[in-house]
């Protein structure tokens, strides 16, 4: 039925045909409408410009509102909009050649026919992202007792499942996982397929800190989780269970007032996404703008400490966490990050910062925050479009290369230029829209700043690894306090080996082929030595940073990218010190 009419012409000729104007989607027209998007800075209610937040305060409480006439904070660093990344080639055109101003009479007739046949759901522009078919409506256990009961039931189930797995393997004469993958966690009876399913079911039920850790596991590659376990854990990344409508309405009333429905034209009570901290609903503002409303699960913020302790106990039971890991330090850092993620006002400030930093970027899009519908537990942003990056495996090689190069380039810019990084590497936070050839960035709750001292030392560690300078890697690691200088020679060698392996993409001239890399397996072979001889925990900044960089590398491997990492880093290194000398 001439599908272009429903998309390309519905918005363009809406006023010509009469009736209500077509609604906007995410503040831009969707990819099928072929209308160039207006880019620019952020704006608040009634189009008033928003003041950028003070990024230096983002590690703690959100900044207080400024009084009228009070001076604004220093401007954010400008986003890099130079000639492009090395290896990208000329930029793509963004559908700016549509000539919709001269429609023929026959076009108008067919457009009218198309409008008459569009159903209410299609006309509303339903969000592309949908809940997993396995997601269920389940009340979130908000009390500590209720959440503890869920973890206790899981512990019993894991023990029974592990005994069953050991018995089954003994009867079959098997000492290793049947999949033959050799994965790090594949040989543990506590992480059999049945037990993995039990873990995922409990994580999706309790959500919160426990599910966040499960999501970290879900993006590991075959060397860490077997393919069978990856498929099971994929559910925690794709969709948690969602809370019933009565719980949703209660949170909205507590945060936005009993009259919250009067502030929107419509609200879908069934979410289209459910994650670790909250779930996301489709809403429509009074002006027709479609928005994503993220609503925090009740009791999540208050349960962070107990959730992390409960899950760590389970992981120790299943031998997933080595005894030599600095678990208390890891717990403290993770707890702080999760507390940040539960503060939706802070996340809104971070999103505004990234929208400003990336204003004018042709590849990345940050949706606008709707301030009047954002509180401590409700975050409203314009609706994005596209599919998660892990669903882009079948795209052409050049498109996958470009996606991965841009994502890696952005991550390095965040660290070495902005000194402000969105550290959640969950692939569901990056949505690729093939029609616009853009990636929409989502979920800024884990964003954090980095000090100049840290980035000065860290960029030199990467440079030393790229240059093959082992002595400098060790010295800069001491400057960063990764090592004390009193460790054994065996530990120092293992540490430097790890850094050199991680630096291989930046040391290889030309294109680095991520599809053939064995980085994860080689690094994991060195972990036992480092855990046995480590004298100090890593610096706090490194936890989130390495999680993000590992996520980028795993994405590149997942999409089988071939990109010029060496040239990319060398350019960024030169730009970094040029800025510092000019500062």
Q: Do the beta carbons of residue 131 and residue 280 sit within 8 Å?
A: no
Cα→Cα distances 304→142, 179, 182, 296, Å? 11, 35, 34, 13
Residue 326 token pair = 């600095």
Which position among 424, 433, 443, 497 bears the catalytic label?
424
CA dist., res. 355 & res. 53, Å (int): 11
Q: Do the beta carbons of residue 430 and residue 407 sit within 8 Å?
A: yes
> Does residue 287 have an active-site annotation?
no
Q: Do the beta carbons of residue 24 and residue 289 sit within 8 Å?
A: yes
CA atoms lying within 13 Å on the CB side of residue 155:
14
CA dist., res. 262 & res. 241, Å (int): 28
Residue/partner pairs of 359-363 with CB below 8 Å, 24 or more apart? 359/39, 359/40, 359/41, 359/79, 360/39, 360/40, 360/79, 360/81, 361/79, 361/81, 362/91, 362/94, 362/438, 363/406, 363/437, 363/438, 363/439
Please measure the distance between the N-terminal and C-terminal CA atoms of the chain and give it in whole angstroms: 59
SS3 string, 397-463, reads HHHHHHHHHHHHHHHHHHHHHHCEEECCCCHHHEEEECCCCEEEECCCCCEEECCHHHHHHHHHHHH
Which residues are catalytically annotated?
Answer: 424
């Amino acid at each position: 039925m001439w599908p272009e009419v429903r998309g390309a012409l519905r918005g363009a000729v809406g006023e010509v045909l009469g009736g209500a104007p077509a609604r906007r989607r995410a503040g831009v027209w969707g990819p099928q409408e072929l209308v160039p998007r207006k880019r620019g800075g952020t704006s608040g209610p009634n189009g008033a410009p928003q003041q950028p937040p003070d990024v230096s305060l983002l590690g703690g409480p959100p900044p207080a509102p400024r009084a009228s006439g009070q001076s604004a904070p220093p401007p954010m660093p400008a986003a890099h909009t130079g000639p492009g990344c090395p290896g990208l080639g000329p930029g793509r055109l963004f559908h700016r050649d549509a000539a919709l101003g001269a429609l023929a009479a026959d076009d108008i007739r067919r457009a009218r026919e198309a409008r008459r046949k569009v159903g209410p759901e299609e006309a509303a522009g339903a969000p592309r992202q949908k809940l997993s078919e396995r997601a269920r409506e389940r009340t979130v256990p908000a009390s500590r007792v209720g959440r503890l009961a869920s973890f206790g039931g899981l512990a019993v189930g894991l023990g029974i499942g592990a005994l069953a797995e050991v018995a089954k393997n003994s009867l079959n004469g098997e000492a290793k996982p049947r999949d033959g993958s050799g994965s790090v966690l594949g040989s543990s009876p506590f992480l059999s397929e049945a037990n993995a399913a039990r873990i995922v079911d409990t994580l999706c039920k309790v959500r919160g800190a426990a599910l966040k850790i499960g999501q970290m596991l879900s993006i590991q590659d075959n060397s860490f989780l077997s393919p069978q376990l990856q498929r099971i854990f994929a559910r925690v990344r794709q969709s948690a269970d969602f809370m019933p409508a009565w719980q949703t309405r209660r949170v909205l009333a507590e945060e936005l007032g009993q009259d919250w429905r009067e502030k929107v034209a419509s609200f879908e009570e069934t979410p289209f996404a459910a994650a670790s901290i909250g779930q996301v609903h489709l809403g429509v503002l009074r002006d027709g703008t479609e928005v994503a409303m993220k609503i925090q699960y009740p009791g999540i913020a208050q349960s962070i400490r107990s959730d992390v302790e409960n899950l760590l106990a389970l992981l120790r039971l299943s031998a997933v966490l080595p005894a030599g890991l600095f678990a208390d330090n890891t717990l403290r850092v993770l707890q702080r990050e999760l507390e940040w993620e539960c503060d939706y006002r802070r996340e809104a400030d971070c999103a505004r910062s990234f929208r400003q930093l990336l204003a004018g970027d042709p590849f990345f899009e940050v949706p606008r925050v709707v301030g009047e519908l954002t509180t401590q537990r409700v975050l409203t942003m314009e609706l994005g479009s596209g599919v998660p990056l892990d669903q882009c495996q079948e795209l052409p090689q050049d498109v996958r290369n470009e996606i991965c190069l841009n994502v890696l380039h952005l991550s390095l810019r965040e660290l070495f230029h902005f000194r402000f990084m969105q550290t959640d590497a969950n692939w569901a936070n990056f949505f690729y829209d093939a029609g616009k050839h853009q990636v929409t960035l989502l979920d800024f709750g884990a964003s954090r700043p980095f000090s100049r001292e840290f980035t000065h030392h860290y960029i030199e560690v990467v440079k030393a690894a790229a240059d093959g300078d082992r002595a400098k890697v060790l010295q800069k690691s001491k400057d960063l306090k990764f090592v004390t200088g009193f460790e054994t020679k065996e530990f120092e060698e293992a540490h430097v080996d790890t850094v050199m392996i991680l630096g291989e993409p930046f040391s290889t001239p030309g294109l680095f082929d991520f599809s053939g890399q064995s980085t994860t397996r080689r690094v994991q072979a060195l972990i036992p030595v480092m855990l046995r001889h480590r004298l100090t925990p890593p610096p706090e900044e490194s936890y989130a940073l390495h999680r993000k960089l590992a996520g980028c590398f795993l994405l590149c491997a997942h999409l089988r990218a071939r990109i010029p990492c060496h040239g990319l880093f060398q350019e960024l290194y030169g730009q970094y010190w040029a800025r510092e000398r000019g500062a």
